[in-house]
Amino acid sequence: MVPGNIQEKYLSRYKMKITRRQFIKKAALYGGIGILASYPVLVETHLLHINHYNIPVSNLPHSFHGFKIVHITDIHFGPLVSLNFVRNVIHKANAIPADMIVCTGDYVHEKHSKTHIDTVWPVLSQLKAQYGVYSVLGNHDHWADFEQSQYWLERTGQNLRHKSVKISKDGEDLWLAGAGDHFEDSLGIDKALKNVPPDNCKIVLAHNPDSADQMFRSTVDLFISGHTHGGQVNIPFVGPLILPVANKNYSSGYIQSEKFGVFISRGIGWAIIPVRFNCFPEIAVLNLTPMES
């Protein structure tokens, strides 16, 4: 028979071991939960991807087969998107061997203020490409300060809002046009394409892909958009939880509509909720290819 004092010491040590084991298990469990909870906020939002897409374009001139367009959208400079992160985006975009760079709005994440606009645009002005850099505005740029956003579009020479520009290569032409924001501006596609030959290839920059479903007379061969962020939270076998568009087919990537193709980038920053899950921020590189008949 074990003496009482020895038995008590034995039980005490045994209970201590169980307590330590439980503590380690709980610490591991809670630590794992903490990591999983923080991952969409602190990790994936900063894992910038450079994704390449082959984009079929009807009526594409032969000289533009393989023409590469870097697409940047929805930077949302502000909370959780630092200026250093934006600088990294611009540095990576300039390093991509592409022909043109286009930007489709929502550069800031503020309201009724010029502060973020005047901070981020000197960085955006550093974008450079052989055939030019062209940009339009998004709803957040209007909410911050439309006049100041428009000022920077003009100052940087990137302004394509309600305008079109002819891109010439080896004697052939492609036209790039810019739409106004779907919510905060007039669409202006017919205005932008008013003097463009109807049989020429036309690509439209529009912040919100719902713009592609609006009424306009001009023929268009491709829309390039952002706004959706790919839903930000993309559940496997379920899909995006939130898509801020009327046409729920407009999530991300290339979508072929009845009339023309629409490309939607997942963008850089965030909106509504500061998370990304299974939906990494991206710089999209569009490789234009002729559409099969």
pTM: predicted TM-score of the whole model, two decimal places: 0.86
CA nearest 88: which of 263, 272, 283?
Answer: 283
Distance (Å, rounded) from C-alpha 44 to C-alpha 274?
Answer: 11
Label the pairing between strands 201-205 and 253-256. unpaired
DSSP letter string, 115-178: HHHHHHHHHHTT---TT-EEEE--HHHHHHHHHHHHHHHHHHT-B-BT-EEEEEETTEEEEEEE
Q: The tokens 């809670």 sit on which residue? A: 30
CA nearest 255: which of 49, 102, 53?
Answer: 53
159 vs 270 pLDDT, higher one: 159
The pLDDT of residue 33: 34
The pLDDT of residue 32 is above 50:
no
Give the pLDDT mean for 126-148: 98
Ranges assigned E (strand) in the chain: 49-57, 68-72, 100-104, 133-136, 164-169, 172-178, 201-205, 222-225, 234-235, 239-240, 253-256, 261-264, 282-290
3-state secondary structure of 161: strand
pLDDT in tens, 51-96: 999 999 999 999 999 999 999 999 999 988 999 999 999 999 999 9
Give the pLDDT mean for 23-45: 42
The pLDDT of residue 27: 41
> Does the CA dihedral 284-288-289-293 come out positive or negative?
positive
Partners of 282 in beta bridges? 49
List the structure tokens of 44. Answer: 């994936």
Give the pLDDT mean for 192-208: 97
Q: The tokens 């962020």 sit on which residue? A: 229
The CA angle 61-67-72, to the nearest 5 degrees, is 125
pLDDT in tens, 145-187: 999 999 999 999 999 999 999 999 999 999 999 999 999 999 9
The pLDDT of residue 34: 38
Give the pLDDT mean for 113-141: 98
Phi/psi for 33 (5° steps) reads -65, -40
% of the chain with per-residue pLDDT over 90: 75
46 vs 152 pLDDT, higher one: 152
